Amino acid sequence: MSPTPPPLRIGILGCANIARQFSRDVAPSREAQVVAVASRNAETAAVFAAAQGIARHHGSYEALLADEGVDAIYLPLPNSLHAEWAIKAAQAGKHVLCEKPLALNRREAQAMFDAASAAKVMLLEAYPYYFQPQTRDMLALLAEGAIGEVRSAQASFGFVLANAQGNIRMNPELGGGALLDAGSYALSAIRLVMGCAPQRVTADASWADSGVDISTMATLHYADGRRAQLSCAMDTANHRHLLVTGSKGTLDSEYLNHTSDVAGTHPYGYLPSRLRVRRGIANSVPFELIRSATGSGFRFAAEAFAKVVREGDFDAIGRAAQASLDNAATLEAIALSARSGSAVEVSA
């Protein structure tokens, strides 16, 4: 038997609540291990490390990047800081698992991938649902032609923003707003099933006093005549839904980040995530419920990242990078369309 490979040693750049959830969910893994955490405040880092059982803590981000016992960085900082610290991490020789959205625009995203390429490290955008077994099963259904040719997609994600006062999602300087927060999820799901970026977009939004969008809706127009629709909001009851229509059937999913087998029993409140397929064009054809393995999307993402790093699978990273660049360009175009009230071409 071949020896078990050592786990990918991950350092967390920042102590936000999402970093706490990531650390907690990755802790049981044998393939990835959180070994260090950093904050701009040494006491904050020490308290976080003690609470999460993390071996080392640093009082600056730079100190974490200099830690030779760290292979990769998990980057959950505010959206406006992703590009700066992903580039610095790459230059320090660290692989980077970066929270969504990867960047504020396509220019930033390209600079991040250029830095990773120059340093010969891997950069991956972290949508937890993307690494769920349910997403794998959905893509397998599409690949086998379960619904024929994909003709259109509709994706939505919304929630009520609690304690909006002081929340970074309400701050335009930190990359706040519904589009970059929830809309990036919906767009990533659309890109996943449509297989490419749209040619142009039209969008409309409602705006908060701070200047961020509270809700945005967009229509995506593709070069081959297909269309998709995106909806996101920070003032609606929590919901996620992806509907994919094909020439021979229909597929729908909740594409949740974290999943469980049964509602009401998971210690962290994770719920079952529905995935259904109708293999036929008539409404008399019943939907088939697809059952997939469940678990934390954070853990699935960390383990998937550990695998591509261990195997040096730059081809897989390249495919993911193209999707991230497409999404960054599309998000930028949607935001511009919502501001201008006009259709906007998506940059190549």
Contact 270, 253 (CB under 8 A): no
CA distance 41 to 159: 31
Q: Which of 94, 100, 120, 307 is catalytic?
A: 100
- Helices marked H in the chain: 17-26, 42-52, 61-65, 82-91, 106-119, 133-143, 178, 184-194, 297-311, 314-340
Q: Is 307 a catalytic residue?
A: no
Tokens 């040494």, located at residue: 42
- Distance of CA 109 to CAs 78, 134, 220, Å? 15, 27, 21
Cα separation values, 235 from 42, 164, 206, 239, Å: 36, 10, 10, 11
- Per the DSSP assignment, residues forming a β-bridge with 233 are 158, 215
Rounded Cα distance, 17 and 23, in Å: 10
Q: Quick check: 38 and 59 in contact, CB under 8 A?
A: yes
The distance from CA 181 to its chain's CA centroid, rounded to whole angstroms, is: 10
**Residues annotated catalytic, as ranges:** 100
